[in-house]
Amino acid sequence: MLFNSLQFLVFFLVVTLWFFRIKSQKGRIWLLLLASCYFYMAFIPVYVIILGGTIVIDYIAGIQIAKKRGKSRKVWLIASIIANVGILAFFKYFNFFISNINDSFKLLHTGRDIPLLHIILPIGLSFHTFQAMSYTIEVYRGKQPPEHNFVTYALYVMFYPQLVAGPIERPQNVLPQLHEYRPYNWDNVKEGLARMLWGFFKKVVIADRLAMAVDYVFGRYEHASALALFIGAVLYSFQIYCDFSGYSDIGIGAARVMNIKLMENFNQPYIARNITGFWACWHISLSTWFRDYVYIPLGGNRKGEARRKRNIFITFLLSGLWHGANWTFIAWGALHGTLVTFFHGRAKDTKGEKSRFHRPKVLLFVVANFLLVTLFWIFFRAENVHKALSYIGGIFSLKQGSNRIGLNATELIFSLVLIVAMMWRENRRPGHFIRSNKLFGWYVTAIVAVCYFFGVFSENQFIYFQF
Amino acid sequence: MGKKIARDILILLGLALLVISNVRKYMEQISNTRNESNGWWGAHHSPEGDLVQMGYLDYVTKFHSLIDYKFVKPAWNGPKHVALYAQGDSYIWKVPDTAYAGITSYKFAWRFQHDLAYTLDTSKRNVLLIEMAERYVRGYFNATGIFNEVYDSAKKAQGLAANIPVRSNVKLAGILPDGISKDDIFNPNINQNLEYNIFNYNFLNPVRSYKALMTYCLFHRASGQVAIADNDDYLLLATTLLPAHGNSSYERIGDKYIGQYVQTLNTIYDHYKADGFDEVYISIIPNPATIVQPKGYNNMIPRIEQSPNLKMKVVSVYDAYRNATNIVYRRGDTHWNNNGLQIWLQKVNEMLAAENHKASR
B14 burial level (CB within 10 Å; 0-12, 13-18, 19+) = buried
The answer to whether A13 contacts B8, with C-beta atoms less than 8 Å apart, is no
State yes or no: pLDDT of B6 exceeds 60: yes
Taking CB atoms and an 8 Å cutoff, what residues of chain B touch A13? 10, 14
The answer to whether B14 contacts A17, with C-beta atoms less than 8 Å apart, is yes
Q: Distance (Å) from the C-alpha of residue B5 to the closest C-alpha of chain A? A: 11
Asked if residues A285 and A167 have their Cβ atoms less than 8 Å apart, the reply is yes
DSSP state of B313: E
Shortest CA distance from B210: residue in chain A:
A453
- Active-site residue A223, yes or no? no
CATH 3.90.320 fits B45-161+202-361, yes or no: no
Question: Tell me: the pLDDT tens digits for B290-335?
Answer: 999 999 899 999 999 999 999 999 999 999 999 999 999 999 999 9
The answer to whether B224 contacts A11, with C-beta atoms less than 8 Å apart, is no
**B162 CB contacts (<8 Å, ≥6 apart)?**
none
Rg (CA), chain A: 23
Query: Which of A11, A220, A458 has its CB closest to that of B224?
Result: A458
Q: Distance (Å) from the C-alpha of residue B224 to the closest C-alpha of chain A? A: 5
The average confidence (pLDDT) of chain B is 88
Q: From residue B91, how far is each of A78, A337, A437, B79, B134 by CA, in Å? A: 60, 56, 54, 28, 11
CA quadruple A233, A237, A239, A244: dihedral, nearest 10? 150
The answer to whether A6 contacts B191, with C-beta atoms less than 8 Å apart, is yes
Q: From residue B306, how far is each of A317, A433, B47, B262 by CA, in Å? A: 49, 65, 37, 10
Taking CB atoms and an 8 Å cutoff, what residues of chain A touch B8? 21
DSSP state of A224: B
DSSP state of A99: H
- B243 — contact with chain A (CB < 8 Å)? yes
d(CA A130, CA A135): 9
Residues in chain A, overall count: 467
d(CA A19, CA A155): 14
Q: Where are the domains of chain B?
A: 45-161+202-361
d(CA A299, CA A122): 33
Query: Which of A6, A17, A414 has its CB closest to that of B11?
Result: A17
- B143 — contact with chain A (CB < 8 Å)? no
* For residues B165-171, average pLDDT: 39
Q: Distance (Å) from the C-alpha of residue A13 to the closest C-alpha of chain B? A: 7
- B1 — contact with chain A (CB < 8 Å)? no
Q: Distance (Å) from the C-alpha of residue B353 to the closest C-alpha of chain A? A: 46
The average confidence (pLDDT) of chain A is 89
Q: From residue B30, how far is each of A137, B25, B193 by CA, in Å? A: 53, 9, 10
d(CA B218, CA B238): 19
Given pLDDT bands bounded at 50, 70 and 90, which one contains residue A362? confident
pTM of the model: 0.84
Q: ipTM higher than 0.90?
A: no
Question: Tell me: the pLDDT tens digits for A396-438?
Answer: 999 898 898 988 899 999 999 999 999 999 988 888 888 889 9
Catalytic residue among A118, A148, A223, A323: A323
Q: From residue A343, how far is each of A279, A347, A366 by CA, in Å? A: 11, 7, 14
Taking CB atoms and an 8 Å cutoff, what residues of chain B touch A459? 191
